[in-house]
Amino acid sequence: MASAAEQLAANLNFGAFGKAEDLKKRLWFTLGALLVYRLGTYIPLPGIDPEALRQIFNANQGVLAMFNVFAGGAVGRMAIFALNIMPYISASIIIQLLTAVVPELEKLKKEGEQGRKQINQYTRYLTVVLAVFQSWGIAVGLQSSGTVVANPGLFFVMSTVITLTGGTMFMMWLGEQITQRGIGNGISLIIFAGIVAELPSVLAQAFELGRQGVIATPLLLGLLILIGLTIVVIVFFERAQRRLLIQYPKRQQGNKVFEGNSSHLPLKLNTAGVIPPIFASSLLLLPTTALSFQTNPAEWLRLTAQLLGHGQPLFMALYALLIIFFCFFYTAIVFNPTETADNLRKYGGFIPGIRPGEKTAQYIDYVLTRITVIGAAYITLVCLLPEVLIGQLGQSFYLLGGTSLLIVVTVTLDTVAQVQGYLLAHQYEGLIKKSQLRGKRR
């Protein structure tokens, strides 16, 4: 009976998908936009020697590999999309942090749609500033790295800054277009596409290492099983919620008396999402990335870069502490217990056994803090997994664990949920139209 019901539901969803023209248009637009993004990761910067760049990239694999994963291989090719969407993500995080500190931004956040548009505009301005600064650092680093640049000078620096900044702004615009006219969150899907595009080559590299005997076959099979278990754990924790019971009393409107009902306030175990590991890794990779382009760095800089290398105990300790810190910090920014408690009291809702107002806010904050401890521990363990593999095996497995898998799984879950939402909406519209036609016939 259960299998027959599942088959019937699948047939209904397939039929709804075949009739949902708007959904198909959105899917085609999303695929086309992601194809444009992938083409841009293969267009190199002008004036770059590919062979010299490849040698430097291989020599500094531990520093640049993670950036290359998020950029879909564009860093290794030094393409026009080498900065990827990271300046926009950094700008978004900074603006969201400032909304909790700057009263003017906090007022804009509460003004609804108009305030959100203004905040988005500030985010775009900050993205330009960060992209110019980062692209200038890349241009100077490439010039000082030896024979990578054919004709070093001011013209190369200016052209690199303009090209990389323009590539980031185009990707930001492309992500916004996907969000508005496609399916899912455009920025997340761009990062998702870059990671998935590099997955076949990384798997092929792992199997080649197994064939050559660098990695034992049982260890390789264990690695694949570990990846599968990690995906299961991520799905479980990302879907996990703590639901607080909300009770609404009886109310009277005119001559009608509405019975009291109950609902739930869902609190995600991982409220911060993938922001903590991305921000933590970005902070830790800043000094080592800057050092990788230096030809003759000082001895203390070399020692610092060695201690902050991937797989090193100091790096893993700082990485874990930063992830935990940003889990609590970002959760406190995106979820305000006091505002939630005020909204519940405004609509007459209350948590059974808890007094409305300040007591409700304290209770929600207490529950949120407890589940964030579990969420922070889960994210930390998942993100430290590839670091342990790097330390034990001496190979880069950024794409097969940690932040990469976390991004791929969460984006997939969100996109599938949005597709299902469109299908349900289309089915409801069909039912409403049928009922209206039957009413007219009668």
- Which CATH number do you get for residue 67? 1.10.3370.10
12: which 2 tokens? 């209904």
For residues 285 and 364, membership in a common domain is answered with yes
For residues 36 and 170, membership in a common domain is answered with yes
Angle at 200 between CA 195 and CA 202, to 5 degrees: 75
For residues 62 and 80, membership in a common domain is answered with yes
- List Cα–Cα distances, 346 to 159, 249, 252, 408, 425, in angstroms: 56, 13, 16, 39, 29
Q: What is the pLDDT of residue 171?
A: 92
For residues 159 and 283, membership in a common domain is answered with no
Q: What is the pLDDT of residue 6?
A: 45
Whole-structure pTM value: 0.78
Secondary-structure breakdown of the chain: helix, strand, coil percentages, each rounded to the nearest 5: 75, 5, 20
In the chain (442 residues long), the average pLDDT of successive 10-residue segments reads: 42 54 86 92 85 73 65 81 86 82 80 82 91 86 77 87 92 91 86 83 76 76 82 88 82 63 84 82 68 61 69 81 89 84 82 84 90 91 76 58 79 85 72 60 56
Q: Which of the listed residues 146, 176, 208 is the one where a domain comes to its end?
A: 208
For residues 177 and 226, membership in a common domain is answered with no
Mention every residue, 6+ apart, whose C-beta is less than 8 A from residue 148.
Answer: 48, 49, 52, 53, 56, 142
Range of the domain at 274: 215-441
For residues 247 and 101, membership in a common domain is answered with no
Residue 7 falls inside a structural domain: no
For residues 57 and 138, membership in a common domain is answered with yes
For residues 346 and 383, membership in a common domain is answered with yes
170: which 2 tokens? 């185009």
Mention every residue, 6+ apart, whose C-beta is less than 8 A from residue 241.
Answer: 266, 267, 268, 269
Residue 397 falls inside a structural domain: yes
Residue 5 falls inside a structural domain: no
Q: What is the pLDDT of residue 161?
A: 92
Angle at 106 between CA 103 and CA 111, to 5 degrees: 130
Which residue shows structure tokens 């996109």?
Answer: 415
For residues 151 and 34, membership in a common domain is answered with yes
Please state the domain count of the chain. Answer: 2
| Range 267-278 burial, b when 16+ CB lie within 10 A, else e | bbbbbbbbbbbb
Q: Which of the listed residues 186, 208, 230 is the one where a domain comes to its end?
A: 208
- List Cα–Cα distances, 406 to 86, 154, 222, 225, 400, in angstroms: 17, 41, 19, 16, 10
Q: Is the dihedral of CA 42, 47, 50, 55 positive or negative?
A: negative
Q: What is the pLDDT of residue 5?
A: 40
Containing H/E element for 266? strand 261-268
Please state, as a whole number, how many other Cβ atoms lie within 10 Å of the Cβ of residue 323. 26
Q: Which of the listed residues 144, 178, 208 is the one where a domain comes to its end?
A: 208
Mention every residue, 6+ apart, whose C-beta is less than 8 A from residue 285.
Answer: 63, 66, 67
Please state, as a whole number, how many other Cβ atoms lie within 10 Å of the Cβ of residue 208. 11
For residues 186 and 276, membership in a common domain is answered with no
For residues 116 and 239, membership in a common domain is answered with no
Residue 255 falls inside a structural domain: yes
Residue 389 falls inside a structural domain: yes
Specify whether the CB–CB gap between 274 and 407 falls below 8 A: yes
Which residue shows structure tokens 């998702």?
Answer: 192
For residues 66 and 145, membership in a common domain is answered with yes
Alpha-helical (H) ranges within 240-274 are: none
